[in-house]
Structure 1
Protein backbone atom coordinates (compact mmCIF):
# COMPACT_ATOMS: atom_id res chain seq x y z
CA UNK A 1 0.00 0.00 0.00
CA UNK A 2 1.28 3.51 -0.72
CA UNK A 3 2.51 5.30 2.39
CA UNK A 4 1.99 9.05 2.18
CA UNK A 5 3.05 11.73 4.61
CA UNK A 6 -0.26 13.63 4.79
CA UNK A 7 -3.88 13.34 3.72
CA UNK A 8 -6.04 16.43 3.19
CA UNK A 9 -9.79 15.76 3.16
CA UNK A 10 -12.73 18.13 3.19
CA UNK A 11 -16.48 18.32 2.55
CA UNK A 12 -17.32 14.75 3.50
CA UNK A 13 -20.82 15.75 4.70
CA UNK A 14 -21.40 12.94 7.16
CA UNK A 15 -25.03 12.65 8.20
CA UNK A 16 -26.36 12.97 4.65
CA UNK A 17 -27.46 10.44 2.06
CA UNK A 18 -25.13 12.06 -0.49
CA UNK A 19 -21.97 11.25 1.49
CA UNK A 20 -19.98 8.60 -0.39
CA UNK A 21 -18.50 7.00 2.69
CA UNK A 22 -17.89 3.61 1.05
CA UNK A 23 -15.53 5.13 -1.51
CA UNK A 24 -13.86 7.19 1.20
CA UNK A 25 -13.20 4.00 3.19
CA UNK A 26 -11.65 2.41 0.08
CA UNK A 27 -9.41 5.45 -0.28
CA UNK A 28 -8.32 5.36 3.36
CA UNK A 29 -7.47 1.65 3.18
CA UNK A 30 -4.99 2.40 0.42
CA UNK A 31 -3.48 5.49 2.06
CA UNK A 32 -1.91 5.06 5.49
CA UNK A 33 -0.35 8.38 6.49
CA UNK A 34 1.53 10.25 9.20
CA UNK A 35 -0.94 13.17 9.21
CA UNK A 36 -4.66 13.42 8.47
CA UNK A 37 -6.12 16.91 8.06
CA UNK A 38 -9.93 17.14 7.95
CA UNK A 39 -10.52 20.59 6.49
CA UNK A 40 -14.13 21.45 7.15
CA UNK A 41 -17.70 20.26 6.49
CA UNK A 42 -16.85 16.82 7.78
CA UNK A 43 -20.27 16.58 9.46
CA UNK A 44 -23.19 18.38 7.79
CA UNK A 45 -25.17 19.89 10.67
CA UNK A 46 -27.12 22.07 8.20
CA UNK A 47 -28.57 19.05 6.39
CA UNK A 48 -29.06 17.09 9.61
CA UNK A 49 -31.58 19.67 10.77
CA UNK A 50 -33.79 18.52 7.91
CA UNK A 51 -33.17 14.85 8.49
CA UNK A 52 -30.31 12.55 9.47
CA UNK A 53 -28.95 9.74 7.33
CA UNK A 54 -26.10 7.97 9.12
CA UNK A 55 -25.03 4.81 7.34
CA UNK A 56 -22.85 2.00 8.71
CA UNK A 57 -20.06 3.15 6.36
CA UNK A 58 -20.17 6.67 7.84
CA UNK A 59 -19.94 5.16 11.32
CA UNK A 60 -16.98 3.05 10.19
CA UNK A 61 -15.24 6.18 8.87
CA UNK A 62 -15.48 7.86 12.28
CA UNK A 63 -14.17 4.72 14.00
CA UNK A 64 -11.30 4.46 11.51
CA UNK A 65 -10.24 8.09 12.11
CA UNK A 66 -10.34 7.57 15.88
CA UNK A 67 -8.30 4.40 15.51
CA UNK A 68 -5.71 6.14 13.35
CA UNK A 69 -5.34 8.86 15.97
CA UNK A 70 -4.92 6.29 18.75
CA UNK A 71 -2.25 4.49 16.74
CA UNK A 72 -0.07 7.56 16.33
CA UNK A 73 -1.27 9.36 13.22
CA UNK A 74 -1.76 13.07 13.78
CA UNK A 75 -5.40 14.03 13.16
CA UNK A 76 -6.35 17.71 12.95
CA UNK A 77 -9.95 18.86 12.40
CA UNK A 78 -10.57 22.37 10.98
CA UNK A 79 -14.32 23.16 11.09
CA UNK A 80 -16.18 24.59 8.10
CA UNK A 81 -19.49 26.37 7.76
CA UNK A 82 -21.60 23.20 7.76
CA UNK A 83 -20.01 22.04 11.02
CA UNK A 84 -19.42 25.53 12.41
CA UNK A 85 -20.72 24.45 15.84
CA UNK A 86 -17.31 22.85 16.36
CA UNK A 87 -15.68 26.29 16.16
CA UNK A 88 -16.75 26.88 19.75
CA UNK A 89 -14.18 24.26 20.74
CA UNK A 90 -11.13 25.24 18.63
CA UNK A 91 -7.71 24.92 20.23
CA UNK A 92 -9.03 22.02 22.26
CA UNK A 93 -8.09 18.36 21.94
CA UNK A 94 -10.66 15.59 21.98
CA UNK A 95 -8.61 12.62 23.03
CA UNK A 96 -5.97 12.24 20.33
CA UNK A 97 -7.71 14.59 17.84
CA UNK A 98 -6.81 18.30 17.58
CA UNK A 99 -9.38 20.97 16.73
CA UNK A 100 -8.15 24.23 15.16
CA UNK A 101 -9.64 27.21 13.32
CA UNK A 102 -6.75 26.99 10.84
CA UNK A 103 -3.32 25.43 10.71
CA UNK A 104 0.06 26.07 9.08
CA UNK A 105 1.49 22.81 7.80
CA UNK A 106 5.15 22.44 6.85
CA UNK A 107 5.68 20.04 3.95
CA UNK A 108 8.58 17.61 3.93
CA UNK A 109 10.43 19.92 1.53
CA UNK A 110 10.07 22.91 3.89
CA UNK A 111 7.23 24.76 2.16
CA UNK A 112 4.64 26.24 4.50
CA UNK A 113 0.94 25.95 3.66
CA UNK A 114 -2.13 27.53 5.23
CA UNK A 115 -4.84 24.95 5.89
CA UNK A 116 -8.28 26.54 6.10
CA UNK A 117 -11.80 25.55 5.07
CA UNK A 118 -12.36 28.78 3.14
CA UNK A 119 -15.94 29.79 3.88
CA UNK A 120 -14.69 33.07 5.37
CA UNK A 121 -13.66 34.05 1.82
CA UNK A 122 -17.12 33.28 0.42
CA UNK A 123 -19.03 36.56 0.39
CA UNK A 124 -22.38 34.79 0.04
CA UNK A 125 -21.80 32.64 3.11
CA UNK A 126 -20.51 35.59 5.13
CA UNK A 127 -23.09 38.25 4.29
CA UNK A 128 -26.13 36.48 2.79
CA UNK A 129 -26.58 33.34 4.85
CA UNK A 130 -30.13 32.75 3.57
CA UNK A 131 -28.81 32.56 0.01
CA UNK A 132 -26.22 30.03 1.13
CA UNK A 133 -28.92 27.94 2.81
CA UNK A 134 -31.08 28.10 -0.33
CA UNK A 135 -28.11 27.07 -2.43
CA UNK A 136 -27.48 24.19 -0.05
CA UNK A 137 -31.04 22.95 -0.58
CA UNK A 138 -30.65 23.22 -4.38
CA UNK A 139 -27.34 21.40 -4.28
CA UNK A 140 -28.86 18.64 -2.14
CA UNK A 141 -31.64 18.27 -4.73
CA UNK A 142 -29.10 17.92 -7.55
CA UNK A 143 -27.21 15.28 -5.61
CA UNK A 144 -30.40 13.30 -5.04
CA UNK A 145 -31.21 13.52 -8.74
CA UNK A 146 -27.70 12.28 -9.45
CA UNK A 147 -28.49 9.04 -7.57
CA UNK A 148 -31.23 8.36 -10.14
CA UNK A 149 -28.94 9.30 -13.04
CA UNK A 150 -26.22 6.95 -11.72
CA UNK A 151 -28.75 4.10 -11.41
CA UNK A 152 -29.92 4.61 -15.00
CA UNK A 153 -26.32 4.72 -16.28
CA UNK A 154 -25.55 1.43 -14.51
CA UNK A 155 -28.66 -0.21 -15.98
CA UNK A 156 -27.61 0.95 -19.44
CA UNK A 157 -24.09 -0.35 -18.91
CA UNK A 158 -22.48 3.09 -19.19
CA UNK A 159 -19.10 3.02 -17.45
CA UNK A 160 -17.64 5.81 -15.37
CA UNK A 161 -18.98 8.28 -12.84
CA UNK A 162 -20.81 11.42 -13.92
CA UNK A 163 -21.84 14.23 -11.58
CA UNK A 164 -25.00 16.22 -12.33
CA UNK A 165 -24.07 18.83 -9.71
CA UNK A 166 -20.58 19.14 -11.18
CA UNK A 167 -22.00 19.51 -14.68
CA UNK A 168 -24.35 22.27 -13.50
CA UNK A 169 -21.48 24.16 -11.87
CA UNK A 170 -19.35 23.98 -15.01
CA UNK A 171 -22.21 25.29 -17.15
CA UNK A 172 -23.12 28.26 -15.00
CA UNK A 173 -20.85 31.21 -15.82
CA UNK A 174 -21.46 33.00 -12.52
CA UNK A 175 -20.55 29.88 -10.59
CA UNK A 176 -17.26 29.65 -12.47
CA UNK A 177 -16.53 33.31 -11.73
CA UNK A 178 -17.28 32.65 -8.07
CA UNK A 179 -14.70 29.87 -8.05
CA UNK A 180 -12.07 32.18 -9.56
CA UNK A 181 -12.83 34.95 -7.05
CA UNK A 182 -12.67 32.46 -4.18
CA UNK A 183 -9.30 31.11 -5.28
CA UNK A 184 -7.86 34.60 -5.64
CA UNK A 185 -9.01 35.51 -2.12
CA UNK A 186 -7.48 32.49 -0.38
CA UNK A 187 -4.21 32.89 -2.29
CA UNK A 188 -4.11 36.54 -1.21
CA UNK A 189 -4.51 35.47 2.44
CA UNK A 190 -1.60 33.04 2.15
CA UNK A 191 0.58 35.66 0.45
CA UNK A 192 -0.14 38.20 3.22
CA UNK A 193 1.15 35.71 5.79
CA UNK A 194 4.34 35.01 3.88
CA UNK A 195 3.41 31.40 3.18
CA UNK A 196 4.09 29.24 0.13
CA UNK A 197 0.54 28.16 -0.55
CA UNK A 198 -2.89 27.25 0.74
CA UNK A 199 -4.96 24.08 0.97
CA UNK A 200 -8.70 24.56 1.46
CA UNK A 201 -12.09 23.06 0.70
CA UNK A 202 -15.60 24.58 0.69
CA UNK A 203 -16.31 24.87 -3.05
CA UNK A 204 -16.24 21.14 -3.91
CA UNK A 205 -13.76 21.75 -6.72
CA UNK A 206 -10.51 19.80 -6.48
CA UNK A 207 -7.49 21.70 -7.79
CA UNK A 208 -3.73 21.93 -7.51
CA UNK A 209 -1.90 24.64 -9.41
CA UNK A 210 0.48 27.55 -9.13
CA UNK A 211 -1.02 31.04 -8.92
CA UNK A 212 1.32 34.00 -8.88
CA UNK A 213 4.21 32.07 -7.39
CA UNK A 214 2.08 30.38 -4.70
CA UNK A 215 0.39 26.97 -4.79
CA UNK A 216 -3.40 26.75 -4.56
CA UNK A 217 -4.80 23.40 -3.49
CA UNK A 218 -8.39 22.38 -2.93
CA UNK A 219 -9.35 19.00 -1.50
CA UNK A 220 -12.56 18.66 -3.48
CA UNK A 221 -15.27 16.64 -1.72
CA UNK A 222 -16.75 13.22 -0.98
CA UNK A 223 -20.20 13.95 -2.39
CA UNK A 224 -19.58 14.49 -6.12
CA UNK A 225 -15.97 14.06 -7.14
CA UNK A 226 -14.58 11.83 -4.37
CA UNK A 227 -11.25 13.63 -4.33
CA UNK A 228 -8.48 14.51 -1.91
CA UNK A 229 -4.98 15.95 -1.76
CA UNK A 230 -2.05 13.88 -0.57
CA UNK A 231 1.49 14.83 0.38
CA UNK A 232 4.16 12.31 -0.52
CA UNK A 233 7.27 11.62 1.53
CA UNK A 234 9.31 14.16 -0.44
CA UNK A 235 6.74 16.96 0.02
CA UNK A 236 5.20 16.59 -3.45
CA UNK A 237 1.46 17.27 -3.52
CA UNK A 238 -0.99 15.32 -5.66
CA UNK A 239 -4.72 15.41 -6.39
CA UNK A 240 -6.29 11.96 -6.11
CA UNK A 241 -9.71 11.23 -7.64
CA UNK A 242 -11.39 8.16 -6.21
CA UNK A 243 -14.57 8.34 -8.29
CA UNK A 244 -14.73 4.67 -9.25
CA UNK A 245 -15.45 1.69 -6.97
CA UNK A 246 -12.12 0.30 -8.14
CA UNK A 247 -9.09 2.46 -7.21
CA UNK A 248 -8.34 5.08 -9.86
CA UNK A 249 -5.82 7.87 -9.43
CA UNK A 250 -5.07 11.00 -11.40
CA UNK A 251 -2.46 13.54 -10.49
CA UNK A 252 -1.66 17.10 -11.48
CA UNK A 253 1.50 19.11 -11.14
CA UNK A 254 1.13 22.40 -9.21
CA UNK A 255 1.09 24.52 -12.32
CA UNK A 256 -1.75 22.53 -13.87
CA UNK A 257 -5.44 22.78 -12.98
CA UNK A 258 -7.35 19.65 -12.11
CA UNK A 259 -10.95 19.04 -13.11
CA UNK A 260 -13.78 20.27 -10.89
CA UNK A 261 -16.38 17.94 -9.45
CA UNK A 262 -15.98 15.53 -12.30
Structure 2
Protein backbone atom coordinates (compact mmCIF):
# COMPACT_ATOMS: atom_id res chain seq x y z
CA UNK A 1 0.00 0.00 0.00
CA UNK A 2 1.37 3.40 -1.01
CA UNK A 3 1.85 6.28 1.41
CA UNK A 4 0.71 9.66 0.13
CA UNK A 5 2.39 12.97 0.91
CA UNK A 6 1.65 16.45 -0.26
CA UNK A 7 5.32 17.05 -1.07
CA UNK A 8 8.48 14.94 -1.31
CA UNK A 9 11.95 16.48 -1.62
CA UNK A 10 15.08 14.53 -2.56
CA UNK A 11 18.57 15.68 -3.49
CA UNK A 12 22.07 14.44 -4.21
CA UNK A 13 21.25 11.28 -6.16
CA UNK A 14 24.43 11.67 -8.26
CA UNK A 15 23.29 9.65 -11.26
CA UNK A 16 26.28 8.59 -13.32
CA UNK A 17 28.33 7.44 -10.33
CA UNK A 18 28.70 3.93 -8.94
CA UNK A 19 27.60 5.16 -5.51
CA UNK A 20 24.20 6.39 -6.67
CA UNK A 21 21.29 4.50 -5.09
CA UNK A 22 19.04 4.96 -8.12
CA UNK A 23 17.51 1.49 -7.76
CA UNK A 24 16.60 2.11 -4.13
CA UNK A 25 15.13 5.51 -4.93
CA UNK A 26 13.01 3.97 -7.68
CA UNK A 27 11.61 1.47 -5.19
CA UNK A 28 11.07 4.24 -2.66
CA UNK A 29 9.02 6.24 -5.16
CA UNK A 30 6.93 3.16 -5.95
CA UNK A 31 5.93 3.09 -2.28
CA UNK A 32 4.96 6.77 -2.14
CA UNK A 33 2.80 9.22 -4.07
CA UNK A 34 2.86 12.99 -3.83
CA UNK A 35 1.32 16.09 -5.33
CA UNK A 36 4.72 17.73 -5.74
CA UNK A 37 8.16 16.14 -6.16
CA UNK A 38 11.14 18.47 -5.77
CA UNK A 39 14.55 17.29 -7.01
CA UNK A 40 16.83 19.66 -5.13
CA UNK A 41 20.09 19.48 -7.06
CA UNK A 42 22.90 17.05 -7.86
CA UNK A 43 20.47 14.57 -9.37
CA UNK A 44 22.78 14.01 -12.35
CA UNK A 45 26.50 14.14 -11.57
CA UNK A 46 27.93 15.96 -14.58
CA UNK A 47 31.35 16.24 -12.94
CA UNK A 48 31.81 12.47 -12.74
CA UNK A 49 30.24 11.80 -16.15
CA UNK A 50 32.86 14.07 -17.71
CA UNK A 51 35.60 11.98 -16.12
CA UNK A 52 35.05 8.32 -15.28
CA UNK A 53 31.34 8.06 -14.50
CA UNK A 54 29.00 5.68 -16.31
CA UNK A 55 25.33 6.04 -17.14
CA UNK A 56 23.52 2.80 -16.28
CA UNK A 57 20.11 1.40 -17.04
CA UNK A 58 18.97 1.90 -13.44
CA UNK A 59 19.76 5.61 -13.81
CA UNK A 60 17.43 5.85 -16.79
CA UNK A 61 14.77 3.94 -14.83
CA UNK A 62 14.69 6.70 -12.23
CA UNK A 63 13.54 9.19 -14.86
CA UNK A 64 11.07 6.62 -16.19
CA UNK A 65 9.57 6.40 -12.68
CA UNK A 66 9.46 10.20 -12.44
CA UNK A 67 7.63 10.48 -15.78
CA UNK A 68 5.12 7.85 -14.64
CA UNK A 69 4.42 9.94 -11.55
CA UNK A 70 3.75 12.94 -13.79
CA UNK A 71 1.53 10.98 -16.17
CA UNK A 72 -0.34 8.66 -13.80
CA UNK A 73 -0.54 10.72 -10.61
CA UNK A 74 -0.42 14.20 -12.15
CA UNK A 75 2.60 14.95 -9.92
CA UNK A 76 4.20 18.36 -10.39
CA UNK A 77 8.01 18.01 -10.56
CA UNK A 78 10.56 20.75 -9.89
CA UNK A 79 14.19 19.97 -10.81
CA UNK A 80 16.45 22.55 -9.15
CA UNK A 81 20.02 23.03 -10.29
CA UNK A 82 22.90 21.84 -8.08
CA UNK A 83 26.65 22.29 -8.45
CA UNK A 84 27.21 18.81 -9.92
CA UNK A 85 24.45 19.34 -12.51
CA UNK A 86 25.49 22.91 -13.31
CA UNK A 87 25.16 22.04 -17.02
CA UNK A 88 21.49 22.95 -16.50
CA UNK A 89 22.55 26.62 -16.52
CA UNK A 90 22.41 26.41 -20.33
CA UNK A 91 18.63 25.81 -20.36
CA UNK A 92 17.31 27.52 -17.21
CA UNK A 93 14.48 28.20 -16.72
CA UNK A 94 12.50 25.56 -18.62
CA UNK A 95 8.98 24.18 -18.26
CA UNK A 96 7.59 21.15 -20.11
CA UNK A 97 4.09 20.35 -18.86
CA UNK A 98 4.35 19.44 -15.18
CA UNK A 99 8.16 19.39 -15.27
CA UNK A 100 9.88 22.62 -14.17
CA UNK A 101 13.67 23.03 -14.36
CA UNK A 102 14.94 26.10 -12.52
CA UNK A 103 17.56 27.51 -10.18
CA UNK A 104 15.59 27.65 -6.93
CA UNK A 105 12.03 27.84 -5.64
CA UNK A 106 9.92 29.85 -3.24
CA UNK A 107 7.50 27.42 -1.60
CA UNK A 108 4.48 28.70 0.34
CA UNK A 109 2.00 26.90 2.58
CA UNK A 110 -0.62 28.52 4.80
CA UNK A 111 1.26 31.25 6.66
CA UNK A 112 4.74 29.78 6.09
CA UNK A 113 7.22 30.51 3.33
CA UNK A 114 10.30 28.41 2.50
CA UNK A 115 13.17 29.13 0.18
CA UNK A 116 14.34 25.92 -1.55
CA UNK A 117 17.87 25.88 -2.97
CA UNK A 118 20.49 23.19 -3.38
CA UNK A 119 22.87 25.09 -1.10
CA UNK A 120 26.09 25.25 -3.13
CA UNK A 121 25.68 29.01 -3.54
CA UNK A 122 26.91 29.34 0.07
CA UNK A 123 29.88 27.05 -0.47
CA UNK A 124 32.72 29.48 -1.15
CA UNK A 125 35.02 26.58 -1.98
CA UNK A 126 32.73 25.40 -4.76
CA UNK A 127 31.92 28.84 -6.15
CA UNK A 128 35.31 30.56 -5.85
CA UNK A 129 37.94 27.81 -5.87
CA UNK A 130 36.52 25.21 -8.23
CA UNK A 131 39.71 23.14 -8.47
CA UNK A 132 39.66 22.58 -4.69
CA UNK A 133 36.04 21.45 -4.93
CA UNK A 134 36.99 18.91 -7.60
CA UNK A 135 39.81 17.64 -5.39
CA UNK A 136 37.38 17.22 -2.49
CA UNK A 137 35.03 15.37 -4.82
CA UNK A 138 37.80 12.89 -5.61
CA UNK A 139 38.37 12.25 -1.89
CA UNK A 140 34.67 11.66 -1.31
CA UNK A 141 34.54 9.25 -4.26
CA UNK A 142 37.38 7.27 -2.68
CA UNK A 143 35.53 7.14 0.65
CA UNK A 144 32.46 5.74 -1.13
CA UNK A 145 34.57 3.08 -2.84
CA UNK A 146 36.12 2.09 0.50
CA UNK A 147 32.68 2.14 2.12
CA UNK A 148 31.35 -0.52 -0.29
CA UNK A 149 34.20 -2.89 0.54
CA UNK A 150 33.84 -2.25 4.28
CA UNK A 151 30.09 -2.91 4.29
CA UNK A 152 30.48 -6.07 2.21
CA UNK A 153 32.49 -7.54 5.09
CA UNK A 154 30.15 -6.11 7.71
CA UNK A 155 27.17 -7.84 6.11
CA UNK A 156 29.08 -11.15 6.13
CA UNK A 157 29.48 -10.70 9.88
CA UNK A 158 25.81 -9.84 10.36
CA UNK A 159 26.53 -6.20 11.17
CA UNK A 160 24.33 -3.27 10.03
CA UNK A 161 25.22 -0.73 7.35
CA UNK A 162 27.93 1.75 8.35
CA UNK A 163 28.43 5.14 6.66
CA UNK A 164 32.15 5.81 6.54
CA UNK A 165 31.86 9.36 5.21
CA UNK A 166 29.28 10.28 7.88
CA UNK A 167 31.63 8.81 10.51
CA UNK A 168 34.50 10.93 9.19
CA UNK A 169 32.41 14.13 8.92
CA UNK A 170 31.14 13.72 12.47
CA UNK A 171 34.65 13.42 13.91
CA UNK A 172 36.82 15.73 11.83
CA UNK A 173 36.73 19.13 13.51
CA UNK A 174 36.97 21.12 10.29
CA UNK A 175 34.08 19.15 8.73
CA UNK A 176 31.86 19.69 11.78
CA UNK A 177 32.70 23.41 11.72
CA UNK A 178 31.95 23.62 7.99
CA UNK A 179 28.53 21.99 8.38
CA UNK A 180 27.63 24.26 11.29
CA UNK A 181 28.70 27.38 9.33
CA UNK A 182 26.78 26.16 6.28
CA UNK A 183 23.55 25.74 8.26
CA UNK A 184 23.91 29.06 10.07
CA UNK A 185 24.55 30.99 6.83
CA UNK A 186 21.57 29.38 5.10
CA UNK A 187 19.33 30.34 8.01
CA UNK A 188 20.58 33.94 7.81
CA UNK A 189 19.83 34.11 4.07
CA UNK A 190 16.32 32.71 4.59
CA UNK A 191 15.65 35.45 7.14
CA UNK A 192 17.04 38.10 4.77
CA UNK A 193 14.61 36.88 2.10
CA UNK A 194 11.71 37.18 4.53
CA UNK A 195 11.20 33.41 4.69
CA UNK A 196 10.20 31.25 7.65
CA UNK A 197 12.45 28.39 6.60
CA UNK A 198 15.16 27.10 4.27
CA UNK A 199 15.20 23.72 2.47
CA UNK A 200 18.48 22.50 0.99
CA UNK A 201 20.74 19.53 0.27
CA UNK A 202 24.40 19.62 -0.84
CA UNK A 203 26.17 18.51 2.36
CA UNK A 204 24.60 15.01 2.47
CA UNK A 205 23.38 15.46 6.04
CA UNK A 206 19.62 15.15 6.62
CA UNK A 207 18.26 17.58 9.20
CA UNK A 208 15.02 19.05 10.55
CA UNK A 209 15.50 21.69 13.25
CA UNK A 210 15.11 25.31 14.20
CA UNK A 211 18.04 27.73 13.91
CA UNK A 212 17.42 31.11 15.57
CA UNK A 213 13.73 31.00 14.68
CA UNK A 214 14.29 29.73 11.12
CA UNK A 215 13.11 26.23 10.17
CA UNK A 216 16.14 24.48 8.66
CA UNK A 217 15.48 21.38 6.54
CA UNK A 218 18.02 19.27 4.63
CA UNK A 219 16.95 16.32 2.48
CA UNK A 220 20.21 14.39 2.92
CA UNK A 221 21.29 12.25 -0.04
CA UNK A 222 20.80 9.06 -2.08
CA UNK A 223 24.40 7.92 -2.02
CA UNK A 224 24.60 6.74 1.58
CA UNK A 225 21.84 7.82 3.97
CA UNK A 226 19.01 7.43 1.40
CA UNK A 227 16.71 10.04 2.92
CA UNK A 228 13.97 12.42 1.79
CA UNK A 229 11.91 15.27 3.20
CA UNK A 230 8.17 14.67 3.34
CA UNK A 231 5.33 17.09 4.00
CA UNK A 232 1.90 15.74 4.94
CA UNK A 233 -1.45 17.31 4.11
CA UNK A 234 -1.42 19.24 7.41
CA UNK A 235 1.87 20.91 6.49
CA UNK A 236 4.08 18.93 8.90
CA UNK A 237 7.62 18.08 7.75
CA UNK A 238 9.70 15.02 8.57
CA UNK A 239 12.84 13.27 7.34
CA UNK A 240 12.07 9.76 6.13
CA UNK A 241 14.58 7.01 5.32
CA UNK A 242 14.56 4.26 2.73
CA UNK A 243 15.38 1.52 5.23
CA UNK A 244 12.35 2.59 7.29
CA UNK A 245 10.01 2.57 4.29
CA UNK A 246 9.93 -1.18 3.67
CA UNK A 247 12.83 -1.30 1.22
CA UNK A 248 15.77 -2.12 3.47
CA UNK A 249 16.24 -5.63 2.02
CA UNK A 250 17.35 -4.15 -1.28
CA UNK A 251 20.36 -2.27 0.12
CA UNK A 252 22.76 -5.22 0.49
CA UNK A 253 21.81 -6.43 -3.00
CA UNK A 254 22.68 -3.12 -4.63
CA UNK A 255 25.95 -2.71 -2.82
CA UNK A 256 27.08 -6.26 -3.59
CA UNK A 257 26.52 -5.84 -7.31
CA UNK A 258 28.53 -2.61 -7.39
CA UNK A 259 31.62 -4.23 -5.91
CA UNK A 260 34.30 -4.70 -8.57
CA UNK A 261 34.61 -8.35 -9.63
CA UNK A 262 38.11 -8.73 -8.22
CA UNK A 263 36.95 -7.36 -4.86
CA UNK A 264 34.02 -9.80 -4.71
CA UNK A 265 36.45 -12.63 -5.34
CA UNK A 266 38.81 -11.41 -2.66
CA UNK A 267 35.97 -10.82 -0.22
CA UNK A 268 34.73 -14.40 -0.64
CA UNK A 269 37.95 -15.67 0.95
CA UNK A 270 38.48 -15.78 4.74
CA UNK A 271 39.83 -12.48 5.99
CA UNK A 272 40.44 -10.71 9.24
CA UNK A 273 37.72 -8.04 9.43
CA UNK A 274 37.93 -7.38 13.16
CA UNK A 275 38.99 -3.81 12.45
CA UNK A 276 35.70 -3.20 10.65
CA UNK A 277 33.64 -4.84 13.39
CA UNK A 278 35.24 -2.58 15.95
CA UNK A 279 33.82 0.55 14.36
CA UNK A 280 30.67 1.96 15.88
CA UNK A 281 27.48 1.25 13.96
CA UNK A 282 25.20 4.02 12.88
CA UNK A 283 21.45 3.90 13.46
CA UNK A 284 19.56 6.58 11.60
CA UNK A 285 16.19 7.69 12.95
CA UNK A 286 13.66 10.10 11.51
CA UNK A 287 13.63 13.70 12.67
CA UNK A 288 10.12 14.86 13.50
CA UNK A 289 9.15 18.49 13.89
CA UNK A 290 5.78 20.07 13.04
CA UNK A 291 6.01 22.93 10.56
CA UNK A 292 4.21 23.95 7.41
CA UNK A 293 4.20 24.73 3.67
CA UNK A 294 2.22 24.31 0.28
CA UNK A 295 1.43 26.32 -2.94
CA UNK A 296 4.44 27.14 -5.08
CA UNK A 297 5.86 30.33 -6.57
CA UNK A 298 9.01 30.63 -8.62
CA UNK A 299 11.70 32.80 -7.07
CA UNK A 300 12.03 36.09 -8.98
Structure 1 length normalisation: TM-score?
0.92
Is structure 2 residue 134 aligned with structure 1 residue 133? yes
Matches of 1:14 and 1:142, distance apart in 2:
17
Task: Answer with 1 or 2: which has the greater Rg.
Answer: 2
Cα offset, 1:155, TM superposition: 1.3
Does the residue aligned with 1:32 lie in a helix, a strand or coil?
A: strand
2:85 to 83, 86, 94: 83
Cα offset, 1:33, TM superposition: 0.3
Structure 2 matches for 1:4-153, cutoff 5 A?
4-71=5-72, 72-107=74-109, 109-153=110-154
Cα offset, 1:57, TM superposition: 2.1
Q: 1:237 aligns to what?
A: 237
Give the total of aligned pairs: 253
**Contact kept? 2:236, 2:289, Cα under 8 Å:** no
CA distances 1:48-80 after superposition (whole Å, capped 9, x unpaired): 112232333222111111221233110001010
Matches of 1:145 and 1:113, distance apart in 2:
37
Cα offset, 1:111, TM superposition: 1.3
Q: 2:221 aligns to what?
A: 221
CA distances 1:187-239 after superposition (whole Å, capped 9, x unpaired): 11110111110100100010000111110000100001111101111000000
| Aligned-residue RMSD, C-alpha | 1.7
Matches of 2:215 and 2:70, distance apart in 1:
28
Matches of 1:171 and 1:105, distance apart in 2:
34
Matches of 1:118 and 1:187, distance apart in 2:
11
**Contact kept? 1:161, 1:243, Cα under 8 Å:** no
2:287 to 236, 239, 252: 252
Cα offset, 1:251, TM superposition: 2.6
Matches of 2:164 and 2:64, distance apart in 1:
31
Q: 1:182 aligns to what?
A: 182
Q: 1:260 aligns to what?
A: none
Is structure 2 residue 165 aligned with structure 1 residue 165? yes
Cα offset, 1:143, TM superposition: 0.2
**Contact kept? 2:42, 2:84, Cα under 8 Å:** yes
Structure 2 runs not aligned, ≥5 long: 249-283, 291-300
Cα offset, 1:95, TM superposition: 4.5
Structure 2 length normalisation: TM-score?
0.80
Q: 1:244 to 1:157 in 2, by over 3 A?
A: farther
Cα offset, 1:26, TM superposition: 2.1
Structure 1 runs not aligned, ≥5 long: 256-262
Runs of 4+ in 1 over 3 A off after TM superposition: 243-250
Does the residue aligned with 2:288 lie in a helix, a strand or coil?
A: coil
Q: 1:78 to 1:140 in 2, by over 3 A?
A: same
**Contact kept? 2:28, 2:245, Cα under 8 Å:** no
Does the residue aligned with 1:161 lie in a helix, a strand or coil?
A: coil
Cα offset, 1:245, TM superposition: 8.7
